[in-house]
């Protein structure tokens, strides 16, 4: 999917919501555990109930890898279900990969070619030659961790390197990578006050912003400091939406939570025009 197609979807749906499919068998409604593939059964119902309210889904691969081959098969079924039934949806494999060049190429093939995701999250720590193999894929997006939502972000990301915070170095250096037009960045919703300075470095790039809901980030603050003229934001909530209910009507409860966020996003989008 191109960035222009993503922006068009945002305006059409009046939403820049990304729903995180972080499926934990200990948290899903008990009746689904009788299903042959409980993870996929859960995802299918969540997707069918919420697809009109969001523009993206983000399965975090940890929640699939934890269940071995069955988990990976559930991930494969989920992305196929999305690509077949809702091709307008932007898909994010939250895998946080990145390695030496030839290994990164294989990771890129796994997520962009085999699974056919639109994007994948990547850790920048190994530098240019670990990121560029992902950027070589046309109309696929590489979402680089910049300033993360967790407390540990302050261990390294905000430390000064050559007089500048490390996360700013990541933003500035990566702008010169080959294929940089395919870059997006992760900035945690819990760090909204940093967004004005981030926008000075990358005025238009799309940001994946996790951390509203369960981690306490504030949607209005993220929009105030982070929205660009092309919106430039995908705001993710995982647990706050998918575990809103635990009974037979869990998907309706998830849709109610998604609708609350979508309505706030609609108000923010109206401020742009
Ligand atoms: O890359 C991410 O998506 C990510 C980066 C970050 O800084 N913080 C963060 O929470 N995430 C992911 O975003 C999701 C947040 O989930 P909830 O806190 O349940 O909404 C999880 O899948 C995290 O792994």
Looking from the CA of residue 63, the nearest atom of ligand 1 is 22
Give CA–CA dist 190/204, Å, rounded.
Answer: 20
Q: Is 91 in the pocket of ligand 1 (CB under 6 A)?
A: no
Residues 6+ apart with CB under 8 A from 156: 166
Amino acid 166: pLDDT: 98
pLDDT of residue 13: 98
Give Cα separations from 4 to 10, 13, 69, 232 (angstroms).
10, 14, 36, 11
pLDDT confidence of 210, banded at 50, 70, 90? Answer: very high
Catalytic residue among 77, 96, 128, 224: 96
Read off the pLDDT of residues 250-267 as tens digits, 9 standing for 90 and up: 999 999 999 999 999 999
SS3 17: strand
> Of 18, 19, 20, which is best to mutate to test ligand 1, by the most ligand atoms within 8 angstroms of its C-beta?
20
Per-residue pLDDT tens for 40-79? Answer: 999 999 999 999 999 999 999 999 999 999 999 999 999 9
pLDDT band at 114 (very low <50, low <70, confident <90, very high): very high
Q: Whole-prediction pTM value?
A: 0.98
E-only strand ranges, 41-83:
56-58
Mean model confidence pLDDT for the chain: 97
Give the per-residue pLDDT at 214.
84
CB of 269 within 6 A of ligand 1: the answer is no
* Topology, domain 3-268: TIM Barrel (3.20.20)
Closest among 268, 254, 271, 154 to 213, alpha carbons compared: 254
Instruction: Give CA torsion, residues 174, 5, 240, 253, to 10 deg.
Output: -170
Task: Tell me if residue 184 falls in helix, strand or coil.
Answer: strand
| pLDDT attached to residue 273 | 77
**What's the 94 CA to ligand 1 centre distance in angstroms?**
8
Return the higher-pLDDT residue of 156 and 213.
156
- What is the 8-class DSSP label of residue 212? B
- Determine whether the shortest distance from the Cβ of 190 to ligand 1 is under 6 A: no
CB-based contact 25:33 (threshold 8 Å)? yes
Would the CB of 22 count as within 6 Å of ligand 1? yes
Domain ranges of the chain: 3-268
> What does the alpha-carbon distance between residue 120 and residue 69 come to, in Å, rounded to a whole number?
20
148 lines ligand 1 (CB under 6 A): yes
Distance CA 40, CA 57 (A): 14
Active site annotation includes 96 = yes
Kindly tell me if the per-residue pLDDT of 132 is higher than 90. Answer: yes
Crossing angle (nearest 10°) for helices 250-272 and 38-50: 40
ipTM: 0.99
């Amino acid at each position: 999917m191109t960035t222009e197609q993503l922006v068009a979807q945002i305006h059409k749906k009046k939403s820049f919501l990304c729903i995180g499919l972080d499926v934990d068998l200990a948290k899903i409604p008990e009746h689904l555990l009788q299903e042959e593939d409980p993870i996929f059964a859960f995802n299918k119902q969540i997707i069918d109930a919420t697809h009109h309210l969001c523009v993206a889904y983000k399965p975090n691969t940890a929640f699939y890898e934890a269940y071995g081959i069955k988990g990976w098969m559930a991930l494969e079924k989920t992305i196929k279900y999305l690509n077949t039934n809702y091709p307008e949806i932007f898909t994010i494999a939250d895998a946080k990969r990145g390695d030496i060049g030839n290994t990164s190429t294989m990771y890129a093939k796994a997520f962009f070619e085999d699974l056919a995701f639109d994007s994948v999250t990547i850790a920048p720590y190994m530098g240019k030659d670990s990121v560029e193999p992902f950027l070589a894929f046309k109309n696929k997006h590489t979402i680089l961790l910049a300033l993360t939502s967790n407390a540990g972000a302050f261990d390294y990301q905000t430390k000064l390197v050559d007089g500048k915070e490390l996360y700013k170095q990541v933003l500035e250096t990566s702008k010169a990578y080959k294929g940089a037009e395919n870059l997006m960045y992760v900035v945690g919703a819990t760090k909204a006050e940093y967004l004005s300075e981030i926008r000075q470095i990358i005025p238009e790039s799309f940001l994946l912003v996790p951390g509203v809901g369960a981690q306490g980030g504030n949607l209005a603050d993220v929009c105030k400091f982070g929205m660009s003229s092309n919106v430039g934001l995908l705001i993710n909530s995982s647990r706050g939406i998918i575990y809103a209910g635990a009974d037979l009507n869990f998907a309706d409860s998830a849709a109610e939570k998604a609708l609350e966020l979508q309505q706030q996003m609609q108000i923010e989008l109206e401020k742009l025009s």
